[in-house]
Amino acid sequence: MYFWAAGALGAVVMVALGAGVLLQGGDDSVAGRAPAVVLGSAASSGPSPTSYSSSPTSEAYAGIAARTADPAPLTVEEAFPSSAERVIVPDSGVTLRLRSKRVERDCTAAVWGATVAGDLRRGGCAQVARGIYADTKRGYGLAVAVFNLTGSADADRFVDLLDHTRGGGFVRPLEAPAPLASFGRDFGMARGLAMGHFAVVSWVQRLDGRGDERDETLLSMLIEGGKAPAVLGRAARASGRPSD
């Protein structure tokens, strides 16, 4: 119910917020060309969160339901603009700072497990953008991954699949030095959101490995982590909302 209520209200709110995102690279010379699909082999083992939930896409992202209508490749600047270098979690005192970021063409580098990799291949995944954040003072970590798939049906299927493969395949958090070196090994919560042809997976945990599913800070972090700037900005622009 927590995520249902947040999702119902957040679908409209997040797109409105996305209207204020300054898109980087929108006028790039390759903006009209979709990125080529390049997939390798996924790792055979890796971590999984303790709990996971997912939500399919909504009408708020109808304008970016297909990559053919939104072909511009993601860039690091678009996925992680200066406004996204910090994630402030409301009413918690937690401020997460970006520690590492990467955009890759081989989506299988960001997952483990043959089933998960196979679904990315089926969905024509062309890029993945990953970032990892930490608040070392408060002791919290957040990992985010944004997958650029062919269409909304592929994004819906992918975020749902992760609930069934957990323990046998999942998203791999981006590598980062201590205190994030062991991210994913202890109690953690993750959430997958289909947003048009993108699948956004956020994963949160306490850096000391403790916690449970009643932790309000972790729940709030999952919502904040799902507000991918690049996706919200594209959805806002496709809907015809002003960008400033």
The residues of the chain scoring below 50 in pLDDT are 1-6, 8-31, 243-244
Tell me what pLDDT residue 33 has.
65
Burial 206-215 (b: 16+ CB within 10 A, else e): bbeeebeeeb
Query: What pTM was computed for the model?
Result: 0.86
Tell me what pLDDT residue 39 has.
73
Tell me what pLDDT residue 22 has.
34
Tell me what pLDDT residue 41 has.
81
Give the residue carrying structure tokens 């909304």: 152
- Quick: pLDDT tens for 119-156: 999 999 999 999 999 999 999 999 999 999 999 999 99
Tell me what pLDDT residue 51 has.
96
Distance CA 26, CA 227 (A): 19
Helix (H, G, I), strand (E, B) or coil at 162: helix
Tell me what pLDDT residue 24 has.
37
Burial 77-92 (b: 16+ CB within 10 A, else e): ebbbbeebeebebeeb
